[in-house]
Amino acid sequence: MTDPLLEGFLHYLKTERNASPHTIDAYRRDIAEFGLRIRDDENFSDWLSVDHDQARTFVMKLFDAGDSKRSVQRKLSSLRSFYRCLIKHEQATDNPFSGLAPIKSDKPLPVVMSISDIDRLLAGVRTYWQSAAASGLSKSEDSAEFAEARDTAMIELIYSGGLRIGEAVGLDLGDVDLNNRLVLVRGKGKKERLAAIGTPCCNALRAYYPRRKSVGAERRVDAPLFVNRFGSRITARSFQRNLKNYLISAGLPPDFTPHKLRHSFATHLLDAGADLRSVQEMLGHENLSTTQIYTHVSAERMRQVYKKSHPRAK
């Protein structure tokens, strides 16, 4: 049994919207599911009798069946488009799916690196540049040692202080106070904050400073902290390219980004008992709600550990 309204819509997608066969099949499945869920009829075609209550019932049935929010959103979008087409061609006067409350998608939890991952990453920096020097990939041994020292210090600083990559490459020499273990960070909207750094970060910076001098970088307080081999400020893109090599060298997922270090900074602090307000200040978040996503990460990690370790978890 053919469904003239549905077939007309699919024809409209093909001829007027130039939709692919794959897209058309997806619309057909999404729209046909309404008949299965509401009327238990895979050949349902009485679209003009559908009302808002049935549309809401359809949403509930989808969730009861285990559909994700993303899946429900897609199916409702298909049905809205279907009825908009019917109204456009004067085949219907009302869109029963237009008044439904929007379904907010769950924000994906930030992916974080474990402490051992960060140790492996730092080891990967050393391994990569040793190999580059030995194979001739690096211009010289001194060049390899400079890049290793610089990028080790950058990784330590981003993780130790919770900096964004743009904040790290934007630092000037005078922004770092090693004696007090503080860094002046200029964040979004030119807002300034102080970031505390630990001993490994301070040691990495002290090891980097002589290498920085060796490439002729200026020593004024307003000179860039992290520089390339020409003594100019390094770009975020350049560091990100290097990071990919270090991740591969360390056997870590190549889709880890500098921002994952910042995520890890926040999550590890909360795991260790830091309060949310303090972490908010350290990250430079204007709203506490932005920082709260990390509490979900910590809670999820806790559940995973519990499920894996507790004898009565299963």
Residue in 37, 75, 150, 285 annotated catalytic: 285
Mark whether 277 is an active-site residue: no
Mark whether 312 is an active-site residue: no
Residue in 37, 262, 263, 268 annotated catalytic: 262
Identify residue 303 by its one-letter amino acid code: R
Residue in 11, 69, 70, 188 annotated catalytic: 188
Within 10 angstroms of residue 282's Cβ, the number of other Cβ atoms is 21
Q: What's the burial of 257, exposed, middle or buried (CB within 10 Å: 0-12/13-18/19+)? A: middle
Q: What's the burial of 256, exposed, middle or buried (CB within 10 Å: 0-12/13-18/19+)? A: buried
User: What does the alpha-carbon distance between residue 229 and residue 215 come to, in Å, rounded to a whole number?
Assistant: 6
Mark whether 212 is an active-site residue: no
β-bridge partners, 182: 177, 196
Q: Give me 222's structure tokens.
A: 């307003």
Mark whether 262 is an active-site residue: yes
Residue in 28, 39, 193, 259 annotated catalytic: 259
Taking a C-beta distance cutoff of 8 angstroms, is the pair 48, 87 a contact? Answer: no
Q: Give me 139's structure tokens.
A: 């211009």
Within 10 angstroms of residue 99's Cβ, the number of other Cβ atoms is 10
Mark whether 285 is an active-site residue: yes
Mark whether 190 is an active-site residue: no
User: What does the alpha-carbon distance between residue 84 and residue 94 come to, in Å, rounded to a whole number?
Assistant: 9
Residue in 37, 164, 212, 268 annotated catalytic: 164
User: What does the alpha-carbon distance between residue 93 and residue 91 come to, in Å, rounded to a whole number?
Assistant: 7
Active site (catalytic) residues: 164, 188, 259, 262, 285, 294
